[in-house]
Structure 1
Amino acid sequence: MTTQIRLLKDFMWWMLFVGFLGYCGRASAQVLPEYSAFPKNSIGLQLGTQGVGLQGSSAFGRVFNARIGFNTVPDITVQYNGRDLGLNRTSVYGIVDWQPLYGNADWLSRKWYVSAGISYYFNNTLYREGIGTVPNYYIYMSKLRPYIGTGLGNMPLSHSIGLRTDFGFFIPISSPTSTYDDRAEKVSSGLRGLLPGMNAGLTLYYRF
């Protein structure tokens, strides 16, 4: 928990610095038309399947947008089938968005984008309470993960507040390992293998 708090503080200072640079360059930056899916610059709060975190963005080249972010699920434990199930996850990521239908006037063309990027998980651990002869065990999941996804952006809620949605996957590039037997196989096969990397989230942001 202490490490996560320190990382979050460092990230927040870094985000403030990026925001300051964006503000300084605002006067000379190109103003994008209203049918763009991206605000020129933004900083916001993200909530979704990857946890809660901060996200900053900056649009460039009319049809592109760059994002950096920080997410965490700080040591939560829930009851699943009468036993403890814990998750400890903290990550940083960088994503580039592309708006393929830029220039069209319909609502979907003005909001829809596709994304690609990469993330690194400082922690990505699943804890499971044992039962019977099975001891308590941990599953360690892939830390470096490329990302593919899609979303809807630049949905204004007020003059300076907007909403962005995302859906995609942080794809594992290595198999999970377990401290007991072959339990890692349960989170790497079929649909179960996709769920830990699923990114479904909302970002409420301030644009500037």
Structure 2
Amino acid sequence: MKMRIKLIKEFFWMLLMSALLFCCGKAEAQVLPEYSAFPTSSLGLQLGVQGLGLQGSYSFARSFNLRVGFDVTPDVTFIYNSRNLRVDRSAVYALVDWQPMYGNTQWFATKWFVTTGFGYYFNNTLYRQGIGRTPDYSVSMSKYRPYIGTGLGDIYLFGNVRLRLDVGSFLPTSAPTSSYENKANTITSGLKGIMPGLNTAATFYIKF
């Protein structure tokens, strides 16, 4: 666990520093605040289906925004079909947002963006309680996942604190595997194949 946290921290800061170095040469005047869904830069706390994490961002080229961060879901257990199902998930990601309606003054146009990118999961496993002759087992899902989604940004809360809303999915690149027979298909079919990669999140951030 300590090694995982260390890797997440190192990867996060590496991506953030790279993004800042890439973007620092862009003139801030390129991005007009009255039209933009993105702050010039930000650091925030993200809460969502993927877990709890930190996220940094930097806007560039008027209608684009770069985000990097990590999420951790610490041993969450819930009841699914009358038996325990535990989620163990931790990931880092890099995303690029595009604001299609940049330059318009309507509220939705100044908030809406679409997103693509990728995520890497250090761990992405479901642990399922057995029943009868079926023992407890685990289902491991793909670690490298491209991302596609949409959202609303720069929603005013107070002072320099803003809210960003995301909905999308980290798409699997390989089939799930199970530690017991064919239970991988049973679990992912029962969950409609959505929950493991679903991303719905709210990020509370400070704009700089």
1:147 match: secondary structure: strand
1:102 match: secondary structure: coil
Residues 91-170 of structure 1 mapped to structure 2, 5 A cutoff? 91-170=91-170
Q: Mean Cα displacement is larger for which, 151-160 or 173-182? A: 151-160
Aligned to 2:198: 198
Distance 1:92 1:12 in 2: 7
Whether 1:36 aligns to 2:36 is: yes
Residue 12 of structure 1: CA displacement?
6.5
Q: Contact between 2:16 and 2:68, CA under 8 Å: does it hold in 1? A: no
Pair 149,165 (structure 1): closer, same or farther in 2 beyond 3 Å:
same
Distance 1:63 1:186 in 2: 42
Distance 1:190 1:129 in 2: 15
Residues 16-31 of structure 1 mapped to structure 2, 5 A cutoff? 25=24, 29-30=28-29
Pair 190,117 (structure 1): closer, same or farther in 2 beyond 3 Å:
farther
Residue 20 of structure 1: CA displacement?
8.1
**% identical equivalent positions:** 51
Pair 112,90 (structure 1): closer, same or farther in 2 beyond 3 Å:
same
Pair 155,201 (structure 1): closer, same or farther in 2 beyond 3 Å:
same
Question: What is the root-mean-square deviation of aligned Cα atoms in Å?
Answer: 2.4
Pair 16,182 (structure 1): closer, same or farther in 2 beyond 3 Å:
closer
2:108 match: secondary structure: helix
Q: Contact between 1:4 and 1:74, CA under 8 Å: does it hold in 2? A: no
Q: Contact between 2:8 and 2:92, CA under 8 Å: does it hold in 1? A: no
2:192 match: secondary structure: helix
Matched AA of 1:29 = E
Q: Contact between 2:73 and 2:89, CA under 8 Å: does it hold in 1? A: yes
Matched AA of 1:159 = G
Whether 1:73 aligns to 2:76 is: no
2:110 match: secondary structure: helix
Q: Contact between 1:72 and 1:89, CA under 8 Å: does it hold in 2? A: yes
Aligned to 1:179: 179
For structure 1, list consecutive stretches of 5 or more residues without a partner in the other structure.
none
Residue 30 of structure 1: CA displacement?
2.6
Per the normalisation by structure 2, the TM-score is 0.89
Residue 115 of structure 1: CA displacement?
0.5
Matched AA of 1:138 = S
2:101 match: secondary structure: coil
For structure 2, list consecutive stretches of 5 or more residues without a partner in the other structure.
none
Distance 2:6 2:51 in 1: 17
Residue 76 of structure 1: CA displacement?
2.2
Q: Contact between 1:140 and 1:176, CA under 8 Å: does it hold in 2? A: yes
What is the aligned residue count? 207
